[in-house]
Amino acid sequence: MKRNHVAAGLLSALFILFLASGASAETNEPPADGSDSLTAWNWIMQERFAKDTNALVRPGLLALRGERAVYVLARWTELSPGEPVEFILIGPESGHDYEALAVSVCAPRDVRAGLEFIGVPPGNPVDYTALQLWPRGERIATSMLTPYAPALGSLTGAWANAESFILSDAVQGVLPEQGFVFTGSAPDPEGTPTHPLYTADTGDPYSIISLYNESRSLLDVPRLAPQGPVYGTQRLNPDQARPVDTPLLVRLVPLPPADGSRSVELAVRATPVNSSTQTEVSFVFEVTNQAGETLLEEGTLQALLALFGKVQAEGHDLYITLLPDSAMRVADAHRLFTFFEQINTTDGARLSPAGEDELYYKAFLPNPRFADRTQRPNQPWELHLDRDAEGRRTGRLDLIEESWTDEAPGNTYDVQSFRVDTPDALKETLEAHPDHLKVLFIYGELTCGEAQRWSRAARPEIRTVYFYPAD
């Protein structure tokens, strides 16, 4: 991948900008003809909005509370048509100009300040450690004016949405116009309550607008887009390419409601219902909102989906925590989560982790091939649960060591088995063998309540658990 020195050049330009804008303020005169156009733009904005308390002006940034718009001055990078793009806009300190469309004159913290100034609260970025896979926050429509003449100070022209600059393999064309999520980026642990710091400003990639799910980005895409799977699948649209250093103006406008209420979290509890007329178990649902109010009680799947549709029609992004009843069989939970995984989309119901002590829904959706130890790349712990003739729970924990040689065909498996008839016995055995792979596969028929107890016993040694029910 090629790198250029646009970011370094912009740092110098930014320094000159600060000095020159200060000189203009002292003399109260515009820069002479032919001077730095960035300095000219800054001077024009300062003069135009000097007495406007509903305007925030910083070098390279203008925020207008009345219009609910933020304008950011930037320059085009050396990115060539067809090259992979990971960022729409990065800060001047970033070293990722080789995979970004543009480099901003101002820092990410200035853009955050601008959005907060016009009344848009930050949300929450992805957090893979906490299994928060979806970015949350208000949606920001992003458009670009390029080529742009900063010295004229205009805020009007032929704006093009930012997505139109990107070709995506996923949609076999230009990215759909969906806006970006204002997460604000993750807090930096070096910050304090009185002087908070955010990771968009404290280290690479210094991202302002990312095209993949990035916790250190000020704005994120509104969909599931982990960096690994999407890398190389998004490229610069040749129809929108610009020469290096071409000035551009980026406009950020919040989409309604833009008051912190766009994200709606609902808790959904599912209970199995057995019917003599059905070959499969069906479910009824209870739904509560964050205020604890019951929105649906013993509702059918159709009633639940109608409620989801109502929430979305009101302009909200829907997030749900789905809790199976403790008496539900793991096999039925698999069916339940298989359906909800299908609507775990930008336009559907985004699945959220249910909490620190609750099972993550992916535990019920393992790769079926990996149930066979010969079909998986490495060997987790295997816990095989059953019942004896008196109905008492029995358990066997297998520690598997896989080996192979060039001389012998196939792999060999050295299995060491331990009797673990209770969750406490499981915990003791895992603690005695801390060096094995930190993954547990649990086989056998059990309820979700039992699944919860066994998985809790595996913590903190193991936090990744998958269930393979008997049927």
Structure tokens at 300: 């059918």
| pLDDT on residue 112 | 98
**Over 70: is that where the pLDDT of 73 sits?**
yes
pLDDT for 233-244, tens place per residue?
999 999 999 999
- How confident is the model at residue 21, as a pLDDT? 39
Look at residue 355 and tell me whether its pLDDT is greater than 90.
no
pLDDT at 208: 98
Percent of the chain with pLDDT over 90: 83
> Mean pLDDT throughout 425-438?
95
Structure tokens at 298: 């013993």
Q: Is residue 279 pLDDT above 90, yes or no?
A: no
Give the confidence band of 259 by pLDDT, cuts at 50, 70, 90.
confident
As given in the structure block, the two tokens for residue 379 are 């060997």
Convert the pLDDT of each residue in 100-147 to its tens digit. Answer: 999 999 999 999 999 999 999 999 999 999 999 999 999 999 999 999
Please report the pLDDT score of residue 354 as a whole number: 86
Q: Say which range, 10-24, 246-260, 288-302, has the weakest mean pLDDT.
A: 10-24
Phi, psi of 250, rounded to the nearest 5 degrees:
-105, 130
Q: Residue 295: pLDDT above 80?
A: yes
Q: What is the DSSP string of 2-63?
A: ---SHHHHHHHHHHHHHHHHHHHHHHT-PPPTTS-HHHHHHHHHHHHTTT-TTEEEETTEEE
Q: Where does the pLDDT of residue 2 fall: very low under 50, low under 70, confident under 90, or very high at 90 and above? A: very low
| Per-residue pLDDT at 23 exceeds 50 | no
**Cis peptide upstream of residue 222 (ω within 30 degrees of 0):** no
The pLDDT of residue 376 is above 70: yes
Partners of 395 in the β-ladder: 385
Q: Provide the pLDDT for residue 256.
A: 87
∠ CA 288-292-293 to the nearest 5 degrees? 65
Q: Residue range 283-304: average pLDDT? A: 96
Q: What is the pLDDT of residue 408?
A: 65
| pLDDT mean over 400-424 | 88
Mean pLDDT in residue range 310-324? 94
Rounded to a whole number, what is the distance in angstroms from the first to the last CA of the chain?
49
Task: Compare 156 and 405 and report the one with higher pLDDT.
Answer: 156
Which pLDDT belongs to residue 274? 75
pLDDT of 258: 78
* Residue 47 φ/ψ, nearest 5 degrees: -70, -40
pLDDT at residue 471, as a whole number: 60
User: Which pTM does this prediction carry?
Assistant: 0.86
Range from 36-40, 344-348, 417-421 carrying the lowest mean pLDDT: 36-40
Q: How far apart are CA 145 and CA 160, in angstroms?
A: 7
DSSP letter string, 352-406: ----TTSPPGGGGS--GGGGSGGGSSS--EEEEEEE-TTS-EEEEEEEEEEE--S
- Indicate whether 285 pLDDT > 80: yes
Q: How far apart are CA 149 and CA 153, in angstroms?
A: 7
The pLDDT confidence band at residue 467, using thresholds 50, 70 and 90, is: very high
- Tell whether the model's pLDDT for residue 3 goes beyond 60: no
Mean pLDDT of 376-394: 95
Structure letter (DSSP) for residue 80: P
